[in-house]
Structure 1
Amino acid sequence: MKCIFPILTAAVMAVCTLSVLPQTVASAITNDEILEQQLTMPVISIDTLGNSVNTKESYTDAKITIWDENGTIDTKDANISIRLRGNSTLNLDKKSYRFKFPKKSNPLHLGDGSAKSWNLVANYYDTSLLRSMTAYHLGDMLDNMPYTPNSRSVEVYVNGSYQGVYLLCEAVNVAKSRIAITEDTTKIEDDGYLVEMSRYAEENVFTVDCCQYEVKSDVSEDPEIAAKQIAYISNYTEQALHALKSGSQSETEKYIDIPSLVDNYLANELCKNVDAGWDSYYFSKDAGGKLTFHPMWDYDLALGNNTEAKGISDAKGLGIFDVTDSSANSNPWLCYAIRCDWFREMLQARWDEKFAEIETLPDFVRTEASVNADSYNRNFTKWNTLGRKVYNETDEAAALKTHSEHAAYLANWLNQRITWLNDYYHSDAFAEGVFLDETN
């Protein structure tokens, strides 16, 4: 079902941060009216049943209705629990959410299988609204990483109030269709571990060299066993990192699934991911297996959308930082890997193998922005972020006044980035381990 771009009332466009919004407020519209306003994307309507959603620490009950892009009902009045998600983005007006079904579900047939947990990501810092989706599309191409989150853009209403375009995507967790590792919290070496390198680490934390890590999979409820589990994965991680740091391929292969690290490096380098050494950098270890580097996560400040680090917004130059300076957001895995001659040879071979697919990324951005232009444009009737600085984007990007211009900016950046990397990966400088910045 499609209709002409609706004229929204001021009440419907009023800012809502999902604190307390019972359905009886004046701006609320019904699900039938929401469907009448549908443009080109799937639509999600959440009813918080009069409850507040104002913390990421606890869930509250709600109901969800989902229509696909044709206006066909996908999920009707299903029970869910919902909370906020994010770290620094918790302070923004446009919130991101995590929600759970009581039983495994697959809304919009998005994932490779059913699961309970899903995310609605606001992407407020990314005025293109396309960067994380594009990064995950790249991750799908790089299939030596076993898992990359499935995602698609949707329009969201909360208690009948329009909230804009969000990215519906799978949550990063252990499941058969996601991080498919062993779950046996009674064991130590024979358990599976999902780990995030994060400076926001809070629970089940360990430190290796300068970096903090958090075990994201379940550990034992027995504190003594849990301590042994954390110690085990901490020691294994340290051995793996130091093997990579030594430069020995044979030692590294004892601990690390190298093809996954090659793909992970390629993805983060192409995207110039400023957060790779700060947060949301994942790997897993299955029982009896090696460290496997996946999944990609959270790329709203990548792909030319950040100026916090020198040269990070430029399509030219490497995105890695000085491994001796922990304040520089350095990712030791990526920095140590690229120093190895054998790793660079594998990286160049993998780039050549995937180059024809990687070249399609700019067109992916242009097509997504064009097909869903009306829905993306409507987002900015709610959130007036066009033509102004939102976070740390370049002045050139901040001055763009339409969504189509932001999409074109991203597509052009990708074109330039792919061209620069292709030239560099086939240069004597790369073969000899000369690491070029944005000024060459």
Structure 2
Amino acid sequence: MVQIFSQDNPEYEVEASAGVRGRGNTTWQYIKKPYRIKFDKKTSLFGLGAAKSWVLLANYLDPTFMMNTIAFKLGHQFGVEYTNHSNHVELFLNEEYLGNYVLTEQVQVNEHRVNIDEETDFLVEFDRYYDEDFKFKSALINMPVNIKSPDLEDESGMDFVKKAINALDEALYGETSGFPNSNWQELIDVPTLIDYIMINEIVRNRELVIPGSVYLYKKGDDKIKMGPLWDFDWGFGYTESGHIYYDNAKTWLYKKYDKHSSGPGGSFFYRFFDDPTFRQAYKARWNEMKGTLENLYSFIDDLRYELYQSSVQNNKRWKKNHDIFDETDKMKDWLQERIEFLDENINSSF
């Protein structure tokens, strides 16, 4: 049984039968565990579209509790389709207090999530863990592709997905494709590609280039589209050694992890910047959107006051000594430095 209580919004209170299980790859290794809720029936939470599956993000490494929330805010700001919503909650499991979590949508095909046909369209994930029952690697750059939808019975059902992904692979890296004068722009939606890369670059999310949790989908005869956005635990200047954030504000993500020094994620996303028409479109979109980034600072200020008491209790529970005000001050400084770096370099070198 899952119960949701809300002092401010009693209309969001829920009591419904559901199962709870662990989830996540790297994040499951930490003592504060992430979870997935699966209701017996489709259920609306916090006014969002009804579905059976929901996710509780633990944000164990995140000293601000809001890195995923900020990335999702950017998604909504840029108009990225199917962007998740963040609802910060206090989690009790079997009457044990587990701290502050973000309750959000499961990335899946659903009329209120990724709204595509479950049989004729596809949702896939580029991910190094390569752990779905049905998966393949692209023909040229060995991109690990996990099939999330459709629900397949045998490998022959992957053929239409392979065809679409390998066609893009060929357009980008085929010896006779003539890139950038190939047909690559006929295969993937450029505006959504730009927004997806730009948001990940703003917060310097290393998952983009590894790759990890990189989603894309194709609906009918439409072009491939990037999204939904997911997993920003390795963003905001994260350094794996020591689990340090706010590093490398003045370094490119796509240049550091380019086709010469990284795995398939870097090879894939770096390649588009070899096309001068893409660089010009990227520059134009940056200059269109950069003014809207100023509101991130007030958003962070408002959210840290909202989360303060919860952060204190969470840190006591998990024996952490972070102060949310100190950490978000560092985050704002890092974001300001990063945005200034990107603005200068996009406008001078693109």
TM-score over 0.5 (shorter chain): yes
**Equivalent position amino acid for 1:315 in 2:** A
CA distance in 2, matches of 1:280, 1:375: 28
Residue 198 (structure 1) aligned to one of 108, 122, 127: 127
**Equivalent position amino acid for 1:183 in 2:** E
- Going from structure 1 to structure 2, the CA distance change for 1:352 and 1:201 (only over 3 Å counts) comes to same
Conservation of the 8 A alpha-carbon contact between 1:359 and 1:418: no
Residue 258 (structure 1) aligned to one of 190, 201, 212: 190
What corresponds to 1:362 in structure 2?
297
What corresponds to 2:152 in structure 1?
220
Q: Which runs of 5+ in 2 are unaligned?
A: none
- Going from structure 1 to structure 2, the CA distance change for 1:249 and 1:174 (only over 3 Å counts) comes to farther
Identical columns (%): 28
CA distance in 1, matches of 2:43, 2:320: 34
**Equivalent position amino acid for 2:135 in 1:** V
Residue 231 of structure 1, CA deviation: 2.4
Deviations 1:26-79 (A, max 9, x none): xxxxxxxxxxxxxxxxxxxxxxxxxxxxxxxxxxxxx11112252636334310
Conservation of the 8 A alpha-carbon contact between 2:14 and 2:45: no
What corresponds to 2:248 in structure 1?
314
What corresponds to 1:291 in structure 2?
224
Q: Which runs of 5+ in 1 are unaligned?
A: 1-62, 185-190, 387-400, 432-440
**Equivalent position amino acid for 1:263 in 2:** D
CA distance in 1, matches of 2:98, 2:128: 30
Conservation of the 8 A alpha-carbon contact between 1:79 and 1:101: yes
| Greater share of residues in helix | 2
CA distance in 2, matches of 1:116, 1:77: 14
Deviations 1:162-214 (A, max 9, x none): 11000111110001121111122xxxxxx111000011112211101232110
Residue 380 of structure 1, CA deviation: 0.6
Q: Which protein is bigger by CA-based radius of gyration?
A: 1
Conservation of the 8 A alpha-carbon contact between 2:122 and 2:219: yes
Residue 124 of structure 1, CA deviation: 0.5
Residues 16-415 of structure 1 aligned to structure 2 (within 5 Å):
63-70=1-8, 72=10, 74-109=12-47, 111=48, 113-143=49-79, 145-184=80-119, 191-202=120-131, 203-208=133-138, 209-221=141-153, 223=154, 227-245=155-173, 246-248=178-180, 251-276=183-208, 277-307=210-240, 313-320=247-254, 321-327=257-263, 330-386=265-321, 401-415=322-336
The DSSP-based 3-state class of the residue aligned with 1:166 is strand
What corresponds to 1:47 in structure 2?
none
CA distance in 1, matches of 2:337, 2:72: 19
- Going from structure 1 to structure 2, the CA distance change for 1:252 and 1:138 (only over 3 Å counts) comes to same
CA distance in 2, matches of 1:247, 1:272: 27
Q: Where in structure 1 do 4 or more consecutive aligned residues deviate above 2 Å?
A: 71-77, 218-221, 244-250, 305-309, 324-327, 329-333
- Going from structure 1 to structure 2, the CA distance change for 1:250 and 1:364 (only over 3 Å counts) comes to farther
Conservation of the 8 A alpha-carbon contact between 1:82 and 1:97: yes
Residue 326 of structure 1, CA deviation: 4.0
Conservation of the 8 A alpha-carbon contact between 1:126 and 1:301: no
CA distance in 1, matches of 2:7, 2:307: 10
Residue 140 of structure 1, CA deviation: 0.8
Residue 104 of structure 1, CA deviation: 1.7
CA distance in 2, matches of 1:378, 1:96: 18
CA distance in 2, matches of 1:312, 1:156: 28
What corresponds to 1:188 in structure 2?
none
Conservation of the 8 A alpha-carbon contact between 2:260 and 2:267: no
Residue 157 of structure 1, CA deviation: 0.8
The DSSP-based 3-state class of the residue aligned with 2:206 is coil
| Cα-Cα RMSD | 2.0
CA distance in 2, matches of 1:346, 1:312: 28
Residue 330 of structure 1, CA deviation: 4.0
- Going from structure 1 to structure 2, the CA distance change for 1:290 and 1:228 (only over 3 Å counts) comes to farther
CA distance in 1, matches of 2:262, 2:291: 36
Conservation of the 8 A alpha-carbon contact between 1:272 and 1:312: no
Deviations 1:406-429 (A, max 9, x none): 1111121111111111111111xx
Residue 161 of structure 1, CA deviation: 1.6
The DSSP-based 3-state class of the residue aligned with 1:216 is strand
Conservation of the 8 A alpha-carbon contact between 1:197 and 1:278: yes
- Going from structure 1 to structure 2, the CA distance change for 1:336 and 1:367 (only over 3 Å counts) comes to same
Conservation of the 8 A alpha-carbon contact between 2:123 and 2:216: yes
Residue 129 of structure 1, CA deviation: 1.1
